[in-house]
Amino acid sequence: MAFLSAVKLQGRPPSISSSLNPNPKPVGSDSVSLDVSIPDSERKPRKFSSKLSRWNRARTLRSGVKVDRTVNNESNSTTVNMNIPDISSVESDVSSINGDHETDFTAAKSIYIVSDGTGWTAEHAVNAALGQFDYCLVDRGCPVNTHLFSGIEDRETLMEIIKQAAIEGAMVMYTLADPSMAEAAMRACKLWSISSLDILGPITDAISSHLGANPSGLSRGVSNSSLNEDYFKRIEAIEFTIKHDDGALPENLEKADIVLVGVSRTGKTPLSTYLAQKGYKVSNVPIVNGVDLPRTLFEVDSRKVFGLMINPVVLQGIREARAKSLGLGSGFEIKYSELRSVREELELAKRIFAENPSWPVIEVTERAIEETAAVVLRLYDERQSNRAMPRISKCY
């Protein structure tokens, strides 16, 4: 079964210098041969970071072909035949990689992300964890390649990926809703001494114990049930949010789930889009000197209105970059990004927020969109359910 995968690179990608066999075997055959000829004068010791098979294997796996590998050396050329019929060949190949050839320990290490759905959960969990290692990822002290394999629903394909991880020395992280698939992945990784982690299993088991109910074991990401009410709700929310961006159609503010208010370049539009993808209809209203806010803004349920505030110096820098990117004239730049004008607009925003004390004000300076969205949604849930968590002030 063919499956979808995406490869993301962080760090230094391996160099590629290869030519594929012009007559490859068709998909579904027992093996795939990749022939690479290297003159004797140019042949160098192979290092793990520049292995020809790294990208060829990834490409072959993405096509859904069974991947096996053996190495045959001839006098004038090197032929790499990828064959993995059983565990013995996997162990032999891993031994060949680690023993017969020089290993470049500065090469990027691989993390395989395997999912029976879209892979969104596992990918974001891995990326969140990798964020703790930015200090060495940035300067390439510990470069990492992440490979996403999504839509993996049959055991045969799962085993091919895990065998490939054994050959490459990759770590395997997986979210497999079917307990039998998760068990197979765990056993295979243990058998081949692959570092692995079941991301979804422990959470599902804990919730199952808490609820006293058994999980369905069905994947949510690629099944027909994904086209459910929540899916169409998100599509409707995105369409609504696009139509009501930057103060458009203020007469429809009452129909919005969330209303964002703030001066220009405080991130209202990207924040609105992010919230819309979670199923919330969002309108955003800009605060501009000399322009009255729409009357309907003060008539809607105040529980869904949120103010955005930002540091004036940071805002000035953002506006200067924006004006230059649009190629706007110097006169506009002075008016739009001059620090005095920026401070005046922010003071106007503060006065408006003070006049409407029921609107929470969120400080967005140096905050990622996801972080601001998390604050908005927490407050939105508290306000809609009429339960407030203890807080020091109304500014977040």
Does 330 fall in a domain?
Answer: yes
Does 295 fall in a domain?
Answer: yes
Give the pair of three-digit tokens for residue 347. 């003071």
What's the confidence (pLDDT) of residue 26?
Answer: 41
In whole angstroms, what is the distance from residue 67 CA to residue 55 CA? 12
Question: Position 43: which residue type?
Answer: R
Do 302 and 258 sit in the same domain of this protein?
A: yes
**What is the average pLDDT score of the chain?**
77
Report how many domains make up the chain: 2
Does 59 fall in a domain?
Answer: no
In whole angstroms, what is the distance from residue 32 CA to residue 25 CA? 6
DSSP bridge pairs for 263 = 287
Do 185 and 277 sit in the same domain of this protein?
A: no
Which of 52, 49, 148, 36 is closest to 108 using CA atoms?
A: 49
Do 171 and 269 sit in the same domain of this protein?
A: no
Does 144 fall in a domain?
Answer: yes
Do 181 and 207 sit in the same domain of this protein?
A: yes
In whole angstroms, what is the distance from residue 339 CA to residue 115 CA? 49
Average of per-residue pLDDT across 119-144: 85
DSSP state of 83: -
Among the candidates 145, 177, 211, a domain finishes at: 211
What's the confidence (pLDDT) of residue 328?
Answer: 72
Do 349 and 240 sit in the same domain of this protein?
A: yes
Domain span at residue 194?
109-211
Do 379 and 245 sit in the same domain of this protein?
A: yes
In whole angstroms, what is the distance from residue 211 CA to residue 143 CA? 41
Q: Quickly list DSSP for 170-213.
A: -EEEEE--SHHHHHHHHHHHHHTT--EEESSHHHHHHHHHHHT-
Does 122 fall in a domain?
Answer: yes
For the chain, the first-to-last Cα distance in angstroms comes to 49
Do 164 and 247 sit in the same domain of this protein?
A: no
User: Band of the pLDDT at 174, cuts 50, 70, 90?
Assistant: very high
Do 184 and 267 sit in the same domain of this protein?
A: no
In whole angstroms, what is the distance from residue 284 CA to residue 305 CA? 9
What's the confidence (pLDDT) of residue 44?
Answer: 43
Do 207 and 240 sit in the same domain of this protein?
A: no
Average of per-residue pLDDT across 174-195: 94
Does 5 fall in a domain?
Answer: no
Do 201 and 282 sit in the same domain of this protein?
A: no
What's the confidence (pLDDT) of residue 229?
Answer: 81
Res. 39: pLDDT tops 50: no
Residue 324's Cβ-count burial label (10 Å; 0-12, 13-18, 19+) is exposed
Residue 267's Cβ-count burial label (10 Å; 0-12, 13-18, 19+) is buried
Highest mean pLDDT of the ranges 132-146, 186-200, 204-218:
186-200
Highest mean pLDDT of the ranges 103-112, 271-280, 329-338:
271-280
In whole angstroms, what is the distance from residue 49 CA to residue 140 CA? 13
What's the confidence (pLDDT) of residue 95?
Answer: 53
Residue 98's Cβ-count burial label (10 Å; 0-12, 13-18, 19+) is exposed
Among the candidates 211, 242, 267, a domain finishes at: 211
Q: How many residues does the chain have?
A: 396
What's the confidence (pLDDT) of residue 71?
Answer: 36
What's the confidence (pLDDT) of residue 221?
Answer: 53
Among the candidates 167, 184, 211, a domain finishes at: 211
Res. 131: pLDDT tops 80: yes
Do 262 and 369 sit in the same domain of this protein?
A: yes
What's the confidence (pLDDT) of residue 216?
Answer: 85
What's the confidence (pLDDT) of residue 159?
Answer: 96
Residues 6+ apart with CB under 8 A from 299: 253, 254
Output the domain CATH number for residue 349.
3.40.50
Q: What is the pTM of this model?
A: 0.60
User: Band of the pLDDT at 70, cuts 50, 70, 90?
Assistant: very low
- Tens-place pLDDT, residues 353-365: 999 999 999 999 9
Does 189 fall in a domain?
Answer: yes
Does 141 fall in a domain?
Answer: yes
Contact 29, 13 (CB under 8 A): no
Do 166 and 123 sit in the same domain of this protein?
A: yes
In whole angstroms, what is the distance from residue 182 CA to residue 205 CA? 12
